Each structure stands twice: as structure tokens, then as C-alpha cells.
Structure 1
């Protein structure tokens, strides 16, 4: 059976700040992120099964990505744990959705973080092929499984 790739696109709004950065992105700012998730697998070959011919039902993929990524990231502020506790406390007073992460929240690192999260929630017979995260309409970072084996 041939391997087939399927991709679904998502969108969320999120702010971040780059701790210690030497440019404007050290300031809190936001992006309209576009996310493409590509899976690879063999289409189900079970005539009569409601999911026959599918690698994964797009609605199932949508549920996983919305619950694990979009609902957590949308309209949140992502900050590096290296930001002082005092500053984080101030941010939490003005925002209910502050995501504190153990990495610099660049688009590159966020793409890898998304890949780590999704791999834990996919069915065993389906693999994550790529995560493509657009920070702007002209700039994106891409995580590929083949580069991370």
C-alpha cells in the first residue's frame, strides 16, 4: 500500500517576547500564525469501514490540533522561563493566558514544540511528517520528521 501525506491548515493569534534578544522582538508583540500539519501513513484498506481510504479523518486531526495546540496557544502570551519571576507575575496580572516555556519562543522552537506535543497524540499507525509554522505571510519555520529521527 502506498504511503500518502495529508495536510491540514490552522490559524491562531499569539504574542511572544524574545528574552535577551538584541532587536525589536525583545518587546512583547503578536503574530497571526498559520500552521500546517502534515501526516504520513497508509490509507485504510477496509472496504465498508467508514474511514476506508483515509490516512486519518481530517476531522480527527482537527480535533487533536485544536485541543492540543490552538486552544492553548490562541490569544496567549508565550515567554521564556528565563524571564524574571517578578516580570512573569506582572504579566499574569494583565493576562490570563501566559504560557511559560523552557525555551526561547522563536518560530523555530515553537514549531519543534508543536511537533513534540502532536506526536504524543497521534494514532500509532500514523506519523507526523512535518510542522510548518508561518509567523508572517513570508516567513516560516519547518520541522521535518526525517531531520529529527
Structure 2
């Protein structure tokens, strides 16, 4: 048995050393072709299905970039963000240049992290942050956290929010304050004077009411609450998840040059949370759960 194990280890050792040096590369196969990443394979499949003519692995003149796909009037770069000089050369080429990359920042579990933008749409690549702190961003809410001791009894907070927007300035502005305020106020209004609770405690509902049931350290609770004043969350109704809900209502309405939205949500005085999430355009997947 020891001899078999020794022979097995000796046969594996060279392969393991090669793997440690990067000698093995994961590839994706589609239609008899191999691609370095799943995104490459997906783009190729889309272009093939459209009957598009394209070349791959093309060295772009006056740059150190190798284009992943080149069509008649379009260059596609995957996981390659061009530098300032390279952006200038690409813009002078007269072709549209699309960059596709996977971000490490996700706004929620439904976000794939894939980001697509066109070279030139972000001006010189400079990003700036603006923020709005306004008395009209205050709101009141009640919530229940059955898994905790102190907060497992229904109680309320007077909260306030500070909103920040990160983006590439257009005409000197990330976004006009007068355009941003109505978007934020609408989101705050939708959350004001609501009962927040996780949907996992729902036992039933009808056209006007929601039935809730949960167990805490204080005993069993059963509630029947108006649907119009209840906002159900996927997870527990913590201040962290309220911030996520607020961003989900603000981000899709931001202009295209806004890349990220951040919120500070205060739970009463001297405590709260901060969340910064990249904007991704998923109009059909907004997590609005006012019921």
C-alpha cells in the first residue's frame, strides 16, 4: 500500500509543480472553440448567433492592448481598462470601444458583477463624490428583530439619511442637486412610517393585510398588520438591510454617469450604517417589496 501511495505521489509531483508555476489554464469551450473566460465564450456565442463577422486577439495600433473581439466598427475589450493615452488612441480610431469587466463590488446577491461601459463615456476617467444631507431625508419606522433579545419587541426609530453619489462629472456636475433631491425624497417617502420585517415570518396575506408569526425569547407573537404600512424585506429588518433597500430605490433612477450610490442611515442618535454600491441597470429586478 505504501509503495502504491509513493508511486502516486511521485507521478503527481511534476504536475503539481507545473500547476504552481501557472502551467495549467482553465478554458471554456463553445462550438468547438476555446476561450480564456466564460465572458469571452458568451460574447462569441452572441456574435455567432447574430451572424456577425469578427476577429479575435487583434493588436491595436498605438497601444499595448490586444482586442478580444474586433467587429467592423466596434472593439471589445474584456477585463482590460485602457489607460489615458490608450483611451485617446481608441477615440481617434473612429471605432466604438466597449469594455466589459467583472467588478468585485456587488450591490446585492442578484448582481452578477459584470459591468459594461464605452470608452469616452466617462470623460477623462475622473470620478468625484457629491453628497446630500437634507432635513427632508428624515423618516420614522418600526421594526422587529425576533432573533435578538432587546429588539424582538416591536419598537420604532426616527432615522435620517445622507446620500452620496459617485460619478464622472458632466458639464462640471456629477448630478444637479435639484435633480437628485426629488429621487431621494420619493425613496424616503416610500419607506416613511412603515413597519419593516422579514418576509420569512409571513404566514399569509390577503388584499389588505399581512399575517405574521414568529417566536422570540419573550414568547410567541402573531400579528395581523395592514399591507399598505408594511414593507417586507428578504432578510432581517436591520439598519444595514434598510440601507440596502434605500439604495435599491435610488440607484436605478440615477443618470448614466453616476457609477455608485452610497447611503448613511442613522438609527436614532450616534449609530447607524454606511453602504456604497455600484449602480447597475436592472429595471426589472428592483427589490421593491411594499405590500
Is the counterpart of residue 63 in structure 1 residue 148 in structure 2? no
Aligned residues: 135
Q: Of 214, 219, 224, which aligns to 1:90? A: 224
Query: For structure 1, which segment, 121-130 or 30-39, has the greater mean C-alpha deviation from structure 2 after superposition?
Result: 121-130
Q: TM-score, normalised by structure 2?
A: 0.43
More strand by share: 2
Aligned counterpart, 1:73? 191
Aligned counterpart, 2:127? 3
Q: In 2, distance between residues paired with 1:118 and 1:107?
A: 17
Deviations 1:65-124 (A, max 9, x none): 112x211111111111122433376112xx741112211010011112222332211111
Q: In 2, distance between residues paired with 1:21 and 1:113?
A: 20
Q: SS state of the match for residue 65, structure 1?
A: helix
Contact 1:115 1:128 in 2 (8 A): no
Q: SS state of the match for residue 90, structure 1?
A: strand
Q: In 2, distance between residues paired with 1:72 and 1:113?
A: 11
- Structure 1: which 5+ residue stretches go unaligned? 46-52
Q: SS state of the match for residue 201, structure 2?
A: coil
Q: TM-score, normalised by structure 1?
A: 0.80
Contact 2:251 2:261 in 1 (8 A): no
Q: In 2, distance between residues paired with 1:14 and 1:22?
A: 18
**1:14 Cα shift?**
1.0
Q: Of 152, 165, 169, which aligns to 1:39? A: 165
Q: SS state of the match for residue 82, structure 1?
A: helix
Q: SS state of the match for residue 21, structure 1?
A: coil
Aligned counterpart, 1:110? 242
Aligned counterpart, 1:49? none
Q: In 2, distance between residues paired with 1:136 and 1:127?
A: 29
Q: In 1, distance between residues paired with 2:261 and 2:196?
A: 25
Is the counterpart of residue 131 in structure 1 residue 263 in structure 2? yes
Q: In 2, distance between residues paired with 1:59 and 1:103?
A: 33
Q: In 2, distance between residues paired with 1:41 and 1:57?
A: 12
Q: Name which structure has the greater RCO, CA cutoff 8 Å, separation 6+.
A: 1
